[in-house]
Amino acid sequence: MSLKNGRYTYRVTGSGDDSEYVGLCTEFPSLSWLARTPETALKGIRKLVADVVKDMSASEESIPEPIAGRFYSGKFMVRIPPDVHRKLAVQAAESGVSLNRIASSKLSQ
């Protein structure tokens, strides 16, 4: 498995009523691996992704970049209702901080 494959975003979650675990990879949302233990689910999804990346590479398909390797500027635009905007502006003014600081604080909770 290459370093790039290891940098993908993996997660393991319970699969519900069947008492098994599902391994998932954020960059490959159509892939999953079902197993009896979380460790086996993680190993399974990592191996599956490595195999898929190998196949994609062999057929010269575009391979998703790991989220961990992407650059984030720290800026994004969000639209909110005017009354929420007003409420946040009041909270910021009362707290003596910027609206950006209030919004950032609430988003990071």
Domain boundary assignment for the chain: 3-68, 72-107
Instruction: Look at residues 21, 31, 22 and name the one whose alpha carbon lies nearest to residue 64.
Output: 31
Instruction: Look at residues 103, 97, 101 and name the one whose alpha carbon lies nearest to residue 84.
Output: 103
Whether 2 has a pLDDT exceeding 70, the answer reads: no
pTM beyond cutoff 0.85: no
pLDDT, one tens digit per residue, over 37-54 is 999 999 999 999 999 999
Instruction: Look at residues 55, 23, 16 and name the one whose alpha carbon lies nearest to residue 42.
Output: 23
**Residue type, position 83, single letter:** D
Q: Average pLDDT over the chain, rounded to whole?
A: 92
**Residue type, position 10, single letter:** Y
**Is 13 in a helix, a strand, or coil?**
strand
